[in-house]
A and B are shown apart, each in its own frame.
Chain A
Amino acid sequence: MPKRTDLKSVLVIGSGPIVIGQAAEFDYSGTQALRVLKEEGLRVILVNSNPATIMTDPEFADATYVEPITPEIVEKIIAKERPDAVLPTLGGQTALNTAIALDKNGVLEKYNVELIGANIEAIELGEDREKFKGVVERCGAESAKSIIVHSMDEAFKAAEELGYPMVVRPSFTMGGLGSGMAYNAEDLRRIAGAGIQYSPTSEVLLEESILGWKEYELEMMRDKNDNVVVVCSIENFDPVGVHTGDSITVAPALTLTDREYQRLRDISIAVIREVGVDTGGCNIQFAIEPDTGRVIVIEMNPRVSRSSALASKATGFAIAKIATKLSLGYTLDEIPNDITQKTPASFEPTLDYVVVKVPRFAFEKFPAADPTLTTTMKSVGEAMALGRNFTEALQKALRSLEQKDSQLTFEPVNDFEVPELVEKAKTGTTERLSQVQRALLGGATVEQLYEATGIDPWFLDQLQLINEIAAEIRNAPTLTEEILRLAKRHGFSDEQIGKLTNMPEAVVRGVRHALGIRPVFKTVDTCAAEFAAYTPYHYSSYDEEDEVELHAKPSVIILGSGPNRIGQGIEFDYSCVHATMALREAGYETVMINCNPETVSTDYDISNRLYFEPLTLEDVLEVIAAEERTGGVMGVFVQLGGQTPLKLAQALADAGIPILGTSPEAIDLAEHRGAFQRVLDTAGLVAPKNGTAVSFEEAKKIADEIGYPVLVRPSYVLGGRGMEIVYDEPNLSRYIANATEITPDHPVLVDRFLEDAIEIDVDALYDGKDMYLGGIMEHIEEAGIHSGDSACVLPPITLGTSVIERVREATFAIAQGVGVRGLINIQFALASDVLYVIEANPRASRTVPFVSKATGVQLAKAAALIGTGVTIHQLRTAHKMLPETGDGSTLPMDAPVAVKEAVLPFNRFRTPEGTVVDSLLGPEMRSTGEVMGIDKYFDTAFAKSQAAANSALPTSGKVFVSVANRDKRSIIMPVKLLVDLGFEILSTGGTAEVLRRNGIQSTTVRKVAEGRGPNGEGTVVDLITEGAIGLILNTPSGGQARGDGYEIRAAATSVGTPVITTVSEFGAAIQAIEAMRQYEWDVTSLQEHALKLKAAVDA
């Protein structure tokens, strides 16, 4: 039964901006889906507000709408495009929720659009906790037992049945207020007692605790003929209690017998049938009581999920692609397995390796946040590694994280430290793995740690094994072949071995190579070598037989960007993918190295060969060696994957490996402050006054000289880590005191901070002769907020031609002075009409995808070709990759306006006291993702960007205004405008006075400190929490982070009210509100924008 013939066009809903819990994996799945739909000859329509995705590349769909993913906008797209079907199962929860809304409000019926991939009933059965419990019961399986009580008597009676500990959840309270874990009767009295009071229905749910149980997940697929397969089993290293996204996870499951595994499989099949997911994938989570084997079904996702991406990469089974084909009516046996070519997709992958995924966190960006890991996901990225055993895979995964101390260390642990380590390990934190391993090192037993953590003794024993081998390495009189092979077989890096033997890493590597100990590369083939594999998807292992086949042409190697983190996310993967696509098209044989399972770059058919490997020097050198011995290497691209590969440039060059594009020397010129200053001097450009300090005295001297405020930061930072604006000496002193590890090697940089400057970002291409300026972005917030967190607009809306010309000239001078071959990103600040150069990055930047989408020009592809010697002139003429004339600095007046807005994760984090962390923006980047709003004019483009970033601006209602003294003057006109538009203004104290003196009526509300009024009048925070306020303007006073402002922002973050923290953004918001009240939003595809732009250029 081949595919359905009644479907001619399909609308795919993407997942929107990258947020914690919904990240790049949905670009990977969405991109696969689009490719399948196009191959099948359907007209493909896409909506996704995230410009940093491959899926929103215009070539992947017939109509690409970079518009907010809201039911209203999607309805407009449906009305305009009239698709036959909507595919909502590949865009995460966002897509699924949007589809449910479209069904509920009758849009699907109105336009006669069918949902494919999953039906509404199935989605609801899978997502609704109560309904799902019924499903589980009907399948003959168990959910966690729970009892609803209304009194303490009932609670104690229930406790007899459930046993302690148990989860107490008051019904209908906001954000889980009053929930807790009761370990004994006293706890129960306290928590449930309060809970009955909190609950508006005096109702409390008591649930048996499954904390500490073994946790598993099965990835399933089902077709319309009811064929079901398990794609992958995943076992969590961390037991139940830590979100699976925050847990170290392992595939396949390693501690189940076949009977136990088959029972999970049987339940999964029964559940997928009962729920009715009939053309696609789902995952099901289980908890198993470790002493009895009792199985509890935790939950299911009736869609492609984060785990699906992991399972795809772990097994080679292309879940998203196959799910899409199933939604078109194919059955599993009709779909070939791409890897073996000869066998069908109706089978279950079997692995002859172990896969370990480790999460990457960003708690350092949120110092106030509680780093305890709970059932709310907090990690921002992940790394995956494959090895021929668990120890090898685990240690590779840990070094893939690229974080200081992410690799296990083996300094001796004193006896007295052990009890503390064991105690600490009881709580899930980012430190738990090392606490457990070090406790074992100090002599704690596997049993003790199992008792404390619930981590399966088999895994604990593997850590013990790693410790034993570390001891053997340390005690070995010399590094013999045998000891080195043993170490490598269990995943030790040259660096770790070096530390254990007091040798530099390079010496260890030299010895190892001299002894001929090199990794081999195995193949991920879905079938444990039962059939030959035709897709070169490789991973390294210290085993016997290498499987890399000879290649005819020397390879071009692209280094990816590693795990997603704040400051280095999907945007860099975008550039890597574009590079490999352009290079393949140009006839090169490309090789991708990366370790991030969430990405498109780690799909096995994106490059000619994929090596799923850590991006450390050692691992990269071994891949290069493998490529060299099988056909040669033309060179390596380091400028596309962000700082990760850029850091390796010099070492690779030192090893004699050709670097394609910008040379390591040029990189150095841009990265070293002194050298870069000389480049600027030569070009006659200025940087803000600055200096370098290694002590408070030095810093004070510099600050006194250049004047406060100053921007202080550690040297060599990424994403503005540790960066702060300091307004006076006491705060400078505090910063220096807190900034650890200031040494002559790691000084603090002190820059004059330009207040009220306009920040400008530029991405450009340079080939040694010509420049192509990709785009000029004008930041909406003033300088001082990290460019990654700041909204920006392209083309610039307030910069005159003369400024643009100066930016252009400066960009050219810097690109030439540094000696770039490919992409360069430069940040400028315009203050008092002086153009300052803030910094230059000789690589693809975070904004490359945004600029490419906004202007319809593929910058990363062009950069890749420049790296192979193609000139900009050729790109403009023969290649047609760049416009024949003009560039991003000469966009016509009626070019569309694109606004990029950052998406911040504040609502994910809580302080140890349970309050939200502050949402104030600053020079340290904290956003996880971005959206783009694009329209004819700035006002609507900005409005769309706000709606897409999940905090739509209000068009009527109440606006709360409270600003710092320096901003009072500049808010009068905008606030007046709001009043004219019919908004009610609320304010406190000083702001209210200023407004009144200017004839603006505002309602004074109570400050937090004043508390509720005599008649119960709420404070501003109460009003926000009640949802009475539609928009908040709160600008912080210099240097002071806490106080009322914090309370206001925190309350707004909790309930999702838009908060504006700068006056400049306030102005933009008011323009947007005006436009929203005046015009109905239109939806326009990127393809339409491109046509209009071309017409404008031609005209």
Chain B
Amino acid sequence: MTDHQTTSSNAALLILEDGRTFRGRSYGAQGTALGEAVFATGMTGYQETITDPSYARQLVVQTAPHIGNTGVNDEDAESRKIWVAGYVVRDAARRPSNWRSERSLDEELIEQGIIGIQGVDTRAITRHLRERGAMKAGIFSGQEAARPVPELLAEVNGQASMEGARLAEEVSIDAAYVVEPADHGWEGEPRFSIAALDLGIKSMTPQRFAERGVRVHVLPATATLADIQAVNPDGVFMSNGPGDPATADTQVGMLRDVLDARMPFFGICFGNQILGRALGFGTYKLRYGHRGINQPVMDRRTGKVEITSQNHGFAVDAPIDGVTRAPEERFGRVEVSHVSLNDDVVEGLACLDIPAFSVQYHPEAAAGPHDSAYLFDRFIDLMAAEKQNPGTTDAADVSKAPIADTDTTVAVASDAKEEN
């Protein structure tokens, strides 16, 4: 029964770029994993977290102490594979227990070759990252753990920084595909169709559109305006994704073309940063980012607070108060529609003269609360308005409406279907 104890065969090390070292036991596959160490504070949803492409090239530290309790199932993954570069947990489950569980997380990590470490003081790591910022790190396990620490530290420091990393194309798909409303409980003909750029898209995002009767053409990150026009969409969407938005010139250029064409636009997360850059604002790296499912955001139009799911290390640099002229002046006036109540970071942009808006957080949730699902309806309303009165709408028109009270009921009902 030595599986509780550290042996030479299961030893593992987490080494941060400033030399701080944590010793634990290996979890999942063994070997070397390099990436940016970040912490995520959700108490549920580890399966969604590890399969979120936005975590590409990151070593994710879970602050929740028990990970793996509900195993892994075939429904909750947010993409085709696990994206985290490495996984750091305190107490890994010995056996999963949940009626939907298909296999253990440990098995899944091994199967997909994901290197993890368990038994470390995840709170100490989190505090370190909070005070010193997200940083380069490495997990070394099995034989790798036996190597001299200075050598390992050098390897950690030798990796490329997240700042300046261009990753969207790496995680995106090669070929376009379509998500049909009929496959997600929508009865009748689709109401709208959109082109969704996959910059690291989570599967819940097209699903949330499809449930509302929107056909989603998911296109690769390199899609051009012509590719978009080829599917004749009612609107354009840009997803979340990993990396530094400053490297996304291709997408920024393409989005400017879309905005110039007055196509309704909605962006989430990376998509928000791209809208910001397209409008001429800058983006910057947060010290340790927002990664959790308890983040309060205020919708400044309604004064209401949403508890949101977030995963971002970069943010848009825009004036948070009042209406601003977009630095790219042809796009007119812009306002910061959503702000983080924790630290005043820009959490959403709304264009007042063109039909475009975006949020920095994740209304599709998965993992996370469903408070912000109304944004999908908001985009549908925007597309509807633009269809009715082409060339006259803007993002402000549809967001004045109060948040629909029935949202939660809708979400309940649709979730019920999934689970049966």
A residues adjacent to B (C-beta < 8 A): 1, 139-141, 225-227, 229, 233, 252-263, 265-267, 269-270, 273, 290-293, 331-333, 342-344, 346-354, 388-390, 446, 456-458, 461, 465, 468-469, 471-472, 482-483, 486, 522, 527-532, 543-545, 547
Can you show 10 pairs from A to B with CB atoms below 8 A apart? A139-B408, A140-B416, A256-B98, A258-B368, A262-B365, A351-B43, A389-B91, A457-B97, A528-B292, A529-B127
B303 touches A225 (CB 8 A): yes
Contacts of B413 in A (CB 8 A): 140
Q: How far is the CA of A545 from the CA of B90 in the complex (A)?
A: 13
Among residues of A, the one whose C-beta sits closest to the C-beta of B292 is A350
The interface bits of chain B over 291-321 (1 if a CB of A lies within 8 angstroms of the residue's CB, else 0) are: 0111110100001110100000000000000
A529 touches B367 (CB 8 A): no
* Contact pick for A343, options B123, B342, B408, CB 8 Å: B342
Q: How far is the CA of A532 from the CA of B47 in the complex (A)?
A: 28
The interface bits of chain B over 99-130 (1 if a CB of A lies within 8 angstroms of the residue's CB, else 0) are: 11000000000000000000011111011001
* Contact pick for B126, options A258, A265, A529, CB 8 Å: A529
3 closest Cβ pairs, A-B complex: A258-B45, A545-B124, A258-B367
Q: Chain B nearest CB: distance from A531 CB in Å?
A: 7
The interface bits of chain B over 38-64 (1 if a CB of A lies within 8 angstroms of the residue's CB, else 0) are: 010111110110000000000000011
Contacts of B69 in A (CB 8 A): 254-255, 458
Q: Number of contacting residues on B, CB 8 A?
A: 69
* Contact pick for B44, options A261, A349, A457, A483, CB 8 Å: A261
Q: How far is the CA of A653 from the CA of B364 in the complex (A)?
A: 60
| A527 and B296 contact, Cβ closer than 8 Å, known pairs A257-B47, A468-B4 | no
Contacts of A531 in B (CB 8 A): 130, 342
Among residues of B, the one whose C-beta sits closest to the C-beta of A292 is B99
Contacts of B419 in A (CB 8 A): 259-260, 263, 293
A352 touches B368 (CB 8 A): no
Contacts of A270 in B (CB 8 A): 408-409, 412
Q: Does chain A have a CB within 8 A of B155?
A: no
Q: Does chain A have a CB within 8 A of B159?
A: no
* Contact pick for A528, options B48, B64, B93, CB 8 Å: B64
Among residues of B, the one whose C-beta sits closest to the C-beta of A547 is B127
Contacts of A469 in B (CB 8 A): 4
Q: Restricting to B331-390, which residues have a CB under 8 Å from any CB of A?
A: 341-343, 365-370
A258 touches B76 (CB 8 A): yes
Q: Does chain A have a CB within 8 A of B1?
A: yes
Q: A259-B419, A350-B292, A482-B6 are in contact. List 7 more A-B contacts (CB 8 A).
A: A255-B97, A257-B70, A342-B343, A343-B342, A349-B294, A458-B97, A461-B95
Among residues of B, the one whose C-beta sits closest to the C-beta of A526 is B294
Among residues of B, the one whose C-beta sits closest to the C-beta of A393 is B65
The interface bits of chain B over 201-234 (1 if a CB of A lies within 8 angstroms of the residue's CB, else 0) are: 0000000000000000000000000000000000
Q: How far is the CA of A662 from the CA of B122 in the complex (A)?
A: 44
Among residues of A, the one whose C-beta sits closest to the C-beta of B303 is A225
Among residues of B, the one whose C-beta sits closest to the C-beta of A456 is B97
A266 touches B412 (CB 8 A): yes
Contacts of A532 in B (CB 8 A): 130
B42 touches A350 (CB 8 A): yes
Contacts of B6 in A (CB 8 A): 482
A291 touches B99 (CB 8 A): yes
Contacts of A140 in B (CB 8 A): 409, 412-413, 416
Q: How far is the CA of A349 from the CA of B342 in the complex (A)?
A: 13
Q: Does chain A have a CB within 8 A of B22?
A: yes
Q: Chain A nearest CB: distance from B419 CB in Å?
A: 6
Among residues of A, the one whose C-beta sits closest to the C-beta of B122 is A352
* Contact pick for A257, options B22, B98, B126, B307, CB 8 Å: B98
Among residues of A, the one whose C-beta sits closest to the C-beta of B45 is A258
Q: How far is the CA of A350 from the CA of B73 in the complex (A)?
A: 24
Q: How far is the CA of A292 from the CA of B408 in the complex (A)?
A: 22
| A545 and B121 contact, Cβ closer than 8 Å, known pairs A347-B294, A351-B64, A389-B66 | yes
* Contact pick for A482, options B5, B39, B63, CB 8 Å: B5
B341 touches A259 (CB 8 A): no
* Contact pick for A263, options B90, B100, B409, B412, CB 8 Å: B412
Q: Restricting to B186-211, which residues have a CB under 8 Å from any CB of A?
A: none
B342 touches A347 (CB 8 A): yes
Contacts of A252 in B (CB 8 A): 43, 64
Q: Does chain A have a CB within 8 A of B94?
A: yes
* Contact pick for A354, options B66, B304, B367, CB 8 Å: B66
Q: Does chain A have a CB within 8 A of B74?
A: no
Q: How far is the CA of A252 from the CA of B366 in the complex (A)?
A: 19
B98 touches A255 (CB 8 A): yes
The interface bits of chain B over 265-300 (1 if a CB of A lies within 8 angstroms of the residue's CB, else 0) are: 000000000000000000000000000111110100
| A529 and B294 contact, Cβ closer than 8 Å, known pairs A140-B409, A461-B94 | no
Q: How far is the CA of A258 from the CA of B50 in the complex (A)?
A: 13
Q: Does chain A have a CB within 8 A of B415?
A: yes
| A139 and B130 contact, Cβ closer than 8 Å, known pairs A292-B99, A347-B307, A529-B63 | no
Contacts of A461 in B (CB 8 A): 94-95, 97
Contacts of B411 in A (CB 8 A): 266
Contacts of B99 in A (CB 8 A): 290-293
Question: Which of B39, B73, B305, B343 lies at the interface centre, i.e. has the most chain A CB atoms within 10 A of its CB?
Answer: B305
Q: How far is the CA of A256 from the CA of B295 in the complex (A)?
A: 20
Q: Restricting to B402-420, which residues have a CB under 8 Å from any CB of A?
A: 405, 408-409, 411-413, 415-416, 418-419
Among residues of A, the one whose C-beta sits closest to the C-beta of B71 is A257
Q: Chain B nearest CB: distance from A457 CB in Å?
A: 4
Q: How far is the CA of A527 from the CA of B343 in the complex (A)?
A: 14
Q: How far is the CA of A997 from the CA of B167 in the complex (A)?
A: 104
Among residues of A, the one whose C-beta sits closest to the C-beta of B340 is A343
| A333 and B296 contact, Cβ closer than 8 Å, known pairs A140-B416, A530-B41 | yes
Contacts of B5 in A (CB 8 A): 482-483, 486
Q: How far is the CA of A269 from the CA of B370 in the complex (A)?
A: 10
Contacts of A544 in B (CB 8 A): 22, 120-121, 124
Q: How far is the CA of A351 from the CA of B97 in the complex (A)?
A: 21
Q: How far is the CA of A229 from the CA of B412 in the complex (A)?
A: 17
Q: How far is the CA of A483 from the CA of B127 in the complex (A)?
A: 28
Among residues of B, the one whose C-beta sits closest to the C-beta of A532 is B130
| A352 and B1 contact, Cβ closer than 8 Å, known pairs A531-B130, A544-B121 | no
Contacts of A522 in B (CB 8 A): 123
A472 touches B97 (CB 8 A): no
Question: Which of A141, A331, A522, A530 lies at the interface centre, i.e. has the most chain B CB atoms within 10 A of its CB?
Answer: A530
A352 touches B307 (CB 8 A): no
B126 touches A530 (CB 8 A): yes
Contacts of B65 in A (CB 8 A): 352-354, 388-389
Among residues of A, the one whose C-beta sits closest to the C-beta of B204 is A259
Q: How far is the CA of A165 from the CA of B414 in the complex (A)?
A: 30
Q: Chain B nearest CB: distance from A282 CB in Å?
A: 15
Contacts of B93 in A (CB 8 A): 458
B412 touches A530 (CB 8 A): no
Q: How far is the CA of A227 from the CA of B306 in the complex (A)?
A: 7
Q: Chain A nearest CB: distance from B92 CB in Å?
A: 10
Contacts of A527 in B (CB 8 A): 41, 294
* Contact pick for B296, options A139, A226, A347, A530, CB 8 Å: A347
Q: How far is the CA of A332 from the CA of B294 in the complex (A)?
A: 14
Among residues of B, the one whose C-beta sits closest to the C-beta of A450 is B97
Contacts of A265 in B (CB 8 A): 369-370
A543 touches B305 (CB 8 A): no
* Contact pick for A332, options B64, B305, B342, B366, CB 8 Å: B305
Contacts of B48 in A (CB 8 A): 258
* Contact pick for A346, options B44, B90, B100, B305, CB 8 Å: B305
Q: How far is the CA of A468 from the CA of B298 in the complex (A)?
A: 49
Among residues of A, the one whose C-beta sits closest to the C-beta of B373 is A266
Contacts of A530 in B (CB 8 A): 39, 41, 63, 126, 130, 292
Question: Which of B64, B365, B408 lies at the interface centre, i.e. has the most chain A CB atoms within 10 A of its CB?
Answer: B408
Q: How far is the CA of A353 from the CA of B91 in the complex (A)?
A: 11
Contacts of B63 in A (CB 8 A): 350, 352, 528-530
Among residues of A, the one whose C-beta sits closest to the C-beta of B419 is A293
Q: How far is the CA of A347 from the CA of B298 in the complex (A)?
A: 11
